Amino acid sequence: MSDAAQILLIDDDPGSREGLGLLLRREGYAVTTADSGEEGVELLTSQPFAAIITDLFLPGVSGIDLLHKVKALALPAQVILITGQASAETAVEAMKGGAFDYIVKPVNFEKLKVLVAKAVGTSRLVAENLYLRQQLRGKYKFANIIGNSPAMQQVFARMEKIVHTDSTVLVLGASGTGKELVARAIHFNGPRKEKPFVAINCGAIPADLLESELFGHVRGAFTGAVADKPGKFELAHGGTIFLDEIGTMPPHLQMKLLRVLQEQEIERVGGTRRIKLDVRVISATNADLEGLVKEGLFREDLYYRLNVIPIVLPSLSERRDDVPLLARHFLRKICTEMRRPEMALTPAALRALENYGWPGNVREMENVIERSVALTDGTVIDRADLPPQIGGLPDNNHLPLARLPEEGLDLPGFVAELEKELLQQALDRSNGVKARAAALLGLNRTTLVEKLKRQGMGEAG
């Protein structure tokens, strides 16, 4: 059977090797045999195995040597050792070194059958975990954070400098700018990538529950605490904890968090035992923490503890050059996820995306593209396929009032640019038919042609 679990059986006794191999094949396993440790090493590096059954004592490369090789290569294969009664103690020591289990000669096949089934199940879980970690590392590569603008290049440069350190990081930026994406990229590209990344949104959890979520609790600490429970900090041991919306944390927890950062240890709610930690802390906020400090709403000493390495993410309106890049990225991604044929954005749709203000930043753009892909027939997204606030002209032909910037503006240039944009929209809607475009703008055709010439938009046709 093509999906049969692959078993590597290593034994220098031909009778034992052939007998066990036959019995395992009858159980539905795909069995590969080797008569020496050296041959076993060659095989395990050339194809994947779910389980390896090997005699403990082999001439040359022993079963222990083979176990060390499996662990050094970080293979998901589980090693079962076959040993004589006199060397069972050695096998127990081998289990401490990572062996799955051992079985004593003469081999009881019923017991071995149970062991192999468990080992195969464990191997599959390990392989899935490795695969997921590889996927996460791929997903959170720096290259997957899209942006060629100068503002984003500064962000990448800062990330590159700190990724291999353990420095505490504070990610600042408006909602939807990708703060958690940056935190995950720092974790999954650094030395802690094989350890947990644990995220918690401090603003999404009621204040009376947040302490327990962060630091855990002991049984009986409060009503409903029926058992000991580790908190997010303990779960992140060896890895990274991401504290999102840190500016919403209540003052009494700010004090406790400061102590945790200073002492690198926690106490569970209701407990007295101190638990040592090794955790990198990355926090994020869309609030003005400096302002909160001045207002007495956020501890100044905690602010300086968190703000060791600041990373400021620009809003999408500050990186308009990245809009086409992001739009095409999300379009490819969402088409793949929805199993849709590859789609394209028309020039008019792209201009509309570039001209929109994006108050919800990158997250809003992803949602807009997802909606457009879901609702658009065919493989081309035009301006009319975008949400009305982006793709459509204002209702009743009334333009929104423009706001005068504090520093003033170049009114003739602003009016000329607005006129050019509306002329282009009219041409797009009328498929280039000048008479129809003129009607949309309340102009006669001659006037439209003159305006197009003045704007350098071509001759009448």
Return the pLDDT at 396. Answer: 41
* CA pair distance 13, 181, nearest whole angstrom: 55
pLDDT score at 415: 83
Using an 8 Å Cβ cutoff, are 175 and 148 in contact?
no
Please write the tens of the pLDDT for every residue from 353-381: 998 989 999 999 999 999 999 999 889 99
Q: CA dist 369 to 140, 144, 179, Å?
A: 21, 17, 20
The predicted pLDDT at position 413 comes to: 80
In terms of Cβ atoms closer than 10 Å to its own Cβ (0-12, 13-18, 19+), residue 116 is: buried
Taking the C-alpha atoms of residue 79 and residue 71, their distance in angstroms, rounded to an integer, is 10
CB 62 within 8 A of CB 148: no
Which DSSP category does 203 fall into?
Answer: T
Q: How far is it, in rounded angstroms, from Cα 153 to Cα 327? A: 18
Q: Residue 24 burial (CB < 10 Å; 0-12/13-18/19+)?
A: buried
> What pLDDT band is residue 117 in, cutting at 50, 70 and 90?
very high
What domains, with CATH codes, occur in the chain? Answer: 6-136 (3.40.50.2300), 142-314 (3.40.50.300), 316-392 (1.10.8.60), 403-461 (1.10.10.60)
Q: What are the distances in angstroms from CA 148 to CA 288, 319, 329?
A: 27, 9, 13
Residues 151-189 have pLDDT tens digits of 999 999 999 999 999 999 999 999 999 999 999 999 988
Name the pLDDT band for 461 (thresholds 50, 70, 90): very low
Indicate the pLDDT class of residue 402, thresholds 50, 70 and 90. Answer: low
Query: Is the previous residue joined to 150 through a cis bond, with omega within 30 degrees of 0?
Result: no
Q: Is 257 helix (H, G, I), strand (E, B) or coil?
A: helix
Provide mean pLDDT across the span 331-348: 93
Give how far Cα 39 sits from Cα of 10, 69, 120, Å: 9, 13, 22
On the question of pLDDT at 11 being above 60, the answer is yes
At 14-46, the pLDDT tens digits run: 888 999 999 999 999 999 999 999 999 989 878
CB atoms within 10 A of CB 318: 17
Mean pLDDT over residues 293-316, rounded? 95
- Residue 220 is predicted with a pLDDT of 86
Rounded CA-CA distance 21/28 in Å is 11
Backbone angles phi, psi at 10, to 5 degrees: -120, 120
Weakest mean pLDDT among 53-67, 139-153, 311-325: 139-153
**Mean per-residue pLDDT over the chain, rounded:** 87
The two tokens of residue 441 are 């703008």
